[in-house]
Chains A and B, each alone.
Chain A
Amino acid sequence: MSAGRLRFVVGRLAQVLPVLAALLLIVVLLQQMMPGDPARVIAGPRATAEQVVQVRHELGLDRPVFEQFGRHVWNLLQGDLGTSNRTGIPITAIVGDRIGVTVWLLFGGLLVSTLLATPAALLMALRPRSRSARMCSRALTIIINCPPFWVGLMLASVLALGTGWLPVGGFGVDFGDRVRSMILPSLTIGLAAMPLLARSAAASLSQVLTADHVTTARSLGVSGWPLVRRHLLRNALPPAITLLAIQAAALLFGAVIVEQTFGLPGLGAEMITAASQRDFPVVQALTLIFGLAIIAINLLADLAVALLDPRTTWR
């Protein structure tokens, strides 16, 4: 690894620390900012004022914020996400049950959007004036204006109700059922993320296409697939990866909505349930997990870009 790259990796890793600290702080402060009093929720509607104070003391909610922060971090470091207010179940168990659904959903969405966006981007970049490229561009404009839950409902009514091949909602028990129950939600998320990805990849590709160094390569007789592989994709990939990472947050948000729409027992659906029931520890833990996921995705993307671009150095 070159010195420039090494500096980049070290610098980029160091950058994660303050972001992590900020995330933790926000998660702890969330409790302060959310409407409603967790102590009152736990004590129940018929509790007296003294009982509420008592609960608040037991939970440590009357301690200074920085002390709560320290305790929270300490618990996290020991792998303790706390327990649900409502059910008393350890949150690690809840997450363990549900994280698989969300991960597969995101993976499916990413797969769908990449499979759809790549040919669209190549078409729009390499044959910008063709009829099919213009139709493709118009289709993207239409899709980008459709709200994901609506797309989900349309897909459900056309593909699932219309044919009876796919479940409209819920999560089956055996493996086959589960795979089939992921298809429509993945399509929904993938379709929602696809237009922006296709547009930006096309922009990045067509920029590389007219870049001076591509003209040089062509002047040396490089053409066809070798030109695309050796000179176009290598240079267009890093911006596309960065863009994908920036979209990670939107994708996660999409997952929350789509899990709810299709009744999938994932982290997103749990988040909505927990928020509506004022189950603060669960909301906190899930916010933390979503935040960590976004930080990790961006870190991985930046490292991948560094690996692809030899000019990388830490600035």
Chain B
Amino acid sequence: MTSHPLLEVDGLRVAIRRQDTAPTVLDGVSFAVGASQCLGIVGESGCGKSLTLRAVMGLLPPGIERTGGRIRLSLQPGAAPSDVQADQVAGRGLAMVFQDSHASLDPTMRVGTFIAETVRRRGGTSRSDARRRAVELLASVGVPDPKLRFNAYPHELSGGMRQRVAIALALATDPRVLLCDEPTTALDVTLQAQILRLLDTARAERGLGMVFVSHDIAVIRQIADVVAVMYAGQIIEIGPVSDVLDRPRHPYARALIDAVPSLDGPVGPFRSVPGSPPAPIDYGSACRFLDRCGHRDTACEGVVNGIDGRGAGHRSACVHSGTLASGLEAT
């Protein structure tokens, strides 16, 4: 049996609608996720990680539009992914967990009621069965006293507990693929580890596909199998986690990974490359990292596309990646 990917994103383009211009913020983003697989996406703040997930969910903020690309989702176990409309997948195959659990849960709804309603939306469940299912879900995400917590409002729960509820809500839709937008960033390290374990368990038990966005390399190393590095609205490197994180090929990926303080070293300032990423309005066809790169030459000024993240293996968009790879590893 061939194993199809669950989710395939092909050439995703997203633009900001302004009065006179429409700068492209996501430029040909492509990736695929299989069952029980976790794709990590890393990159500096503003590179388009959140917009990627929101575009896939069909939940772009007002004023931002998808201008191209296809999204394919496998809707039945074993089925090949088929084209889906962006406004039809939220809660029907795709679910999402957000960063800020405080702002992302409706303050006027009891968490149990919200989960039960979400269960019932799938149809065929009686009110009392949905309640029972909600209590089970709360228990399964590690909420103690789930019967009691059923009646709690979000503001009555701690941050870690709220994030567990958010995960239970997402799981209540019985998704095929779970999109996670920095779900542990707002939590302290202990809670962070617990939530990562919880997500990992859900993935294994349900055969979930998972896309996990983070700017934290350590978190990605823990949870992802494959990692894509984003820069200025493009995927510039992708590959198995150990390959990319230990032997980065793109100078930007290298800089990003170097900037992470080692686990036992002191937490120093972000030792990043000088300068900052270009604004979307300045995205051109040349390599977008060019101004900050120590390896630039005329080849970098030609057309440099992001890479298609759907293939297997370790690949980089850098025109010099072939020659640089060995040199970078040596330093």
Contact = CB atoms under 8 A, between A and B. Distances in A.
Contacts of B166: 216
B58 to A, nearest CB: 8
A235 B107 contact: yes
B108 interface: yes
A132 interface: no
Given A215-B59, A216-B169, A308-B108, A221 B90 contact: yes
Given A221-B90, A222-B91, A215 B98 contact: yes
A183 B92 CA distance: 51
Contacts of B95: 219-220
B70 interface: no
A12 B203 CA distance: 49
B266 interface: no
A145 interface: no
A138 interface: no
A221 B108 contact: no
B100 interface: yes
Interface string A206-221: 0000111111111111
B107 A310 contact: yes
B51 to A, nearest CB: 13
Given A218-B59, A220-B95, A308-B108, A213 B155 contact: no
Interface size band for B: 20 to 34
Contacts of A134: none
A231 interface: yes
A222 to B, nearest CB: 7
Contact of B121 (A215, A220, A231): A220
A246 B65 CA distance: 39
A310 B153 contact: yes
Contacts, number: 72
Contact of A216 (B61, B62, B104): B104
Contact of A220 (B61, B118, B155): B118
A218 B106 CA distance: 11
Interface in B54-79: 57, 59, 61-62
Contacts of A131: none
A213 B61 contact: no
Contacts of B155: 310-311
A235 B108 CA distance: 7
Interface string B122-166: 000000000000000000000000000000010100000000001
A230 interface: yes
A67 interface: no
A219 B96 contact: yes
A126 B154 CA distance: 26
A32 to B, nearest CB: 49
B121 A213 contact: no
Contact of B98 (A216, A310, A311): A216
Contacts of A311: 107, 153, 155
Given A213-B107, A235-B107, A219 B59 contact: yes
Contacts of A212: 98, 100, 103-104
A226 to B, nearest CB: 8
Contacts of B229: none
A215 B104 contact: yes
A52 to B, nearest CB: 63
B238 interface: no
A163 to B, nearest CB: 44
Nearest to B107: A311
B170 interface: yes
Contacts of B103: 211-213
Contacts of B169: 216, 220
A177 interface: no
B106 A220 contact: no
Question: By CB atoms of chain A within 10 A, which of B100, B107, B153, B173 has the most?
Answer: B107
Interface in A160-213: 210-213
A181 B243 CA distance: 83
Contacts of A220: 90-91, 95, 118, 121, 169-170, 172-173
B105 interface: yes
Interface in A209-254: 210-222, 230-231, 234-235
A20 B68 CA distance: 63
Contact of A213 (B90, B91, B105, B172): B105
Contact of A309 (B96, B100, B108): B108
Question: By CB atoms of chain B within 10 A, which of A210, A216, A311 has the most?
Answer: A216
A220 B109 CA distance: 14
A311 B109 CA distance: 11
The 7 A-B pairs with the shortest beta carbon distances in the complex, nearest first, are A221-B91, A212-B103, A213-B106, A212-B104, A219-B96, A310-B153, A216-B104
10 contacts: A210-B61, A212-B103, A217-B106, A219-B170, A220-B91, A230-B109, A231-B109, A234-B108, A235-B106, A311-B107
Interface of A: 210-222, 230-231, 234-235, 308-311
Given A230-B109, A310-B108, 17 more contacts: A210-B62, A212-B103, A212-B104, A213-B103, A214-B106, A216-B98, A216-B166, A216-B169, A217-B106, A222-B121, A230-B117, A234-B106, A234-B109, A235-B106, A308-B108, A310-B107, A311-B155
